């Protein structure tokens, strides 16, 4: 099409590409723009802020917040009395710092991070062995296992949520913060496990068996070959699957919203953001800044594994 000589066609094609790109990235651009605007600037349809405002980011990342909400007179008083010890100073400041109003973004970020990193880790460890089993070993029932794993494509979160909630409440898992955390961890792990199994299984099949065979003739055990041959050879695929699992857990809202309802300290970013939006309406700059910061890790990870992941996705290894 573009190779054609007619310039009009060329321009039309360029416009088409441009509009597709705009459609895709416009919400992100708007998010960035709004997060940097002052409130009086929100109604301005231009995407370029009239004046840059970094307050939202500073507040979320807890930069320079120590003097916020402290009355001017107190600050002056502190400046004028140099004989106060640092302990006394911070005691006075602590009185005025309004911590109840601050959105604990960093805490939620940390919760999300710990939960997603560990769920993805367990999922990948189990998947390496499982995928090796059904891509390399022959046994009765293998086909059933492989197909059964794919069945998971049909089950939406809501179908599993009610029974799992009932079970977890019955065995008392949700009555302690630790139990709740573990429960959520296990659920995230099992949600990503089928996809990890499928993607790794497909990858292992592309590794020639002769390499393993040679190692086994030399006396290596099955576990030895997995550890020394399969894992090093498929490290990029394993990293891809790990990051994919991480992203699924990082984005999850449904289970977290039900399980963590009464544990504010364990909130992950998605519920944290939702509560922030509901509780303090129309604070677009902070909402958008939080959105940006939530999206960034995922976007960065995605860009690093993009080539491998898109190959895996096109081969059918995804679940939503």
Partner 1 sequence: MHAQIKNTGKLPPGGSATALTDGRTRAQREELLGWALVLPSVAIILALILYPVLYNIYLSFYQVNLSGASRFVGFLNHREVLGDREFWNALLTTIIYVAFSTVGATLLGLGTALVMNEKFPLRGLVRSLILLPYVAPVISVVFSWQFFFDPVNGIFMDIFYDKLGWFSQRINLIGSPATAVWVAIIFSIWKNFPFAYLMILSRLQAIDQNLYEAAEIDGAAGRHKFLYITLPEVYFVVNAIILLRVIWNFNKFEEVYLLTSNVKVLSVYTYLKAFTGAMDLGQGATLAVLQFILLIGFILFYVKRVIKW
Residues 128-187 that bind partner 1 (CB under 8 A): 129-130, 132-142, 145, 148-149, 152-167, 169, 186-187
Question: With binding defined as CB under 8 A, does residue 60 bind partner 1?
Answer: no
Indicate the residue among 23 and 82 with the shorter CB distance to partner 1: 23
4-43 positions binding partner 1, by CB under 8 A: 13-14, 16-17, 20-21, 23-25, 27-28, 30-31, 34, 42-43
Which residues lie below 8 Å from residue 63, measured CB to CB, with a gap of 6+? 57
81-118 residues labelled b (16+ CB within 10 A) or e (exposed): eeeeeeeeeeeebeeebeeeeebbbeebbebbbebbeb
Q: To the nearest 10°, the Cα dihedral for 163, 118, 200, 157?
A: 20
- For residues 58 and 285, which CB has a smaller minimum distance to partner 1 in the complex? 285
Based on CB atoms, which residue is closest to partner 1, 72 or 320? 320
Residue 272 to residue 266: CA distance in whole angstroms: 10
Alpha-carbon span 160 to 149, nearest angstrom? 16
DSSP string, 144-155: HHHHHHHHGGG-
**148 is written with which tokens?**
């059964």
Q: Which is nearer to partner 1, 92 or 152 (CB)?
A: 152
Q: Which segment (50-58, 59-67, 99-107, 306-314) binds partner 1 by CB under 8 A? A: 306-314
Task: Please report how close the Cβ of residue 103 comes to partner 1 at its closest, in angstroms.
Answer: 14
Quick note: the x/- pattern for partner 1 over 199-238, rule CB under 8 A, is ------xx-xx---x--xx----x----------------
CB nearer partner 1, residue 96 or residue 155: 155
For position 91 contacting partner 1 by CB under 8 A, the verdict is: no
User: What does the per-residue mask of binding to partner 1 show for 267-286, with x meaning CB under 8 A?
Assistant: --xx--xx--x------x--
Residue 237 Cβ vs partner 1, minimum distance, rounded to whole Å: 14
- Tally the C-alpha atoms within 13 A of residue 84's C-alpha that lie toward its C-beta: 15
Report CA 179 to chain centroid distance, whole Å: 22
């Amino acid at each position: 099409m573009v190779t054609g000589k007619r310039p009009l066609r060329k321009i039309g094609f360029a416009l088409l590409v441009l509009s597709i790109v705009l459609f895709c990235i416009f919400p992100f651009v708007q998010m960035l723009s709004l997060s940097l605007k002052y409130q009086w600037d929100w109604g301005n349809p231009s995407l370029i802020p009239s004046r840059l405002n970094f307050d939202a980011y500073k507040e979320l990342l807890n930069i320079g917040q120590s003097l916020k909400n402290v009355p001017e007179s107190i600050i002056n008083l502190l400046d004028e009395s140099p004989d106060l010890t640092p302990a006394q100073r911070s005691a006075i400041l602590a009185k005025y710092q309004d911590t109840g109003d601050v959105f604990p973004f960093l805490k939620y970020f940390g919760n999300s991070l710990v939960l997603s990193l560990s769920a993805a880790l367990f999922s990948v460890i189990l998947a390496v062995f499982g995928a090796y089993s059904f891509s390399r070993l022959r046994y009765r029932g293998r086909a059933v296992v492989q197909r059964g794993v794919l069945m998971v494509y049909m089950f939406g979160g809501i179908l599993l949520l009610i029974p799992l909630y009932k079970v977890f409440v019955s065995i008392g898992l949700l009555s302690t913060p630790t139990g709740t955390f573990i429960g959520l961890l296990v659920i995230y792990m099992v949600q990503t496990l089928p996809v990890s199994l499928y993607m790794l299984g497909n990858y292992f099949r592309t590794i020639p068996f002769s390499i393993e065979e040679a190692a086994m003739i030399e006396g290596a055990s099955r576990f030895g070959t997995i550890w020394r041959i399969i894992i090093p050879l498929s490290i990029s695929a394993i990293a891809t699957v790990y990051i994919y699992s991480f992203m699924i857990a990082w984005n999850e809202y449904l289970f977290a919203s039900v399980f963590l309802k009464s544990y504010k300290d364990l909130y992950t970013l998605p519920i944290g953001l939702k509560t922030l939006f509901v509780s303090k309406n129309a604070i677009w700059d902070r909402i958008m800044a939080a959105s940006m910061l939530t999206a960034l890790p995922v976007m960065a990870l995605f860009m690093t594994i993009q080539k491998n992941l898109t190959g895996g996705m096109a081969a059918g290894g995804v679940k939503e």
